[in-house]
Amino acid sequence: MKVSSPIGDLPFEPRELSVKDGGIEITGVMGAWPAHVRIGPGDLPALARLLAKPAAAAAAAAVITAGLARFVRSGRRTSLERN
């Protein structure tokens, strides 16, 4: 993983995953410094919104693709193609 900061891109190497105070904590090192990430219950709505965007886009693409495939298989022609 990389963390972008004003001093540049630093690697984040996770070393431990734990559950503390009702949240998830990842401890590790970022460059030469110890670091940790804490994901608390209050962060879940924001994470759900982030995860929903790609999932919604993928679902829409699947529906559109299936509709186009069905249309092509049906052999329907538009009025422009008949002339």
Biggest alpha carbon distance in the chain? 71
Return the pLDDT at 44.
Answer: 83
**Whether residue 35 sits in one domain with residue 55:** no
Q: Is residue 11 part of a domain?
A: yes
Return the pLDDT at 34.
Answer: 93
In the predicted model, is pLDDT for residue 13 greater than 80? yes
Q: Is residue 80 part of a domain?
A: no
Tens-digit pLDDT profile for residues 26-80: 999 988 889 998 988 888 888 888 878 877 778 777 877 877 777 667 665 544 5
Residue 51, phi-psi category: left (phi > 0), alpha (psi -120 to 50), beta (remainder): alpha
pTM greater than 0.85 (yes/no): no
Q: Is residue 81 part of a domain?
A: no
**Whether residue 56 sits in one domain with residue 25:** no
Q: What angle do CA 76, 81, 83 make, to 5 degrees?
A: 130
Domain count across the chain? 2
**Whether residue 34 sits in one domain with residue 48:** no
Return the pLDDT at 76.
Answer: 55
Mapped onto helix, strand or coil, the DSSP state of residue 1 is coil
- Helix (H) or strand (E) run with residue 65 in it: helix 44-74
Q: Is residue 13 part of a domain?
A: yes
Question: What residues make up the domain containing 7?
Answer: 1-39
Give the C-alpha separation, 51 to 56, whole Å. Answer: 9
**Whether residue 31 sits in one domain with residue 58:** no
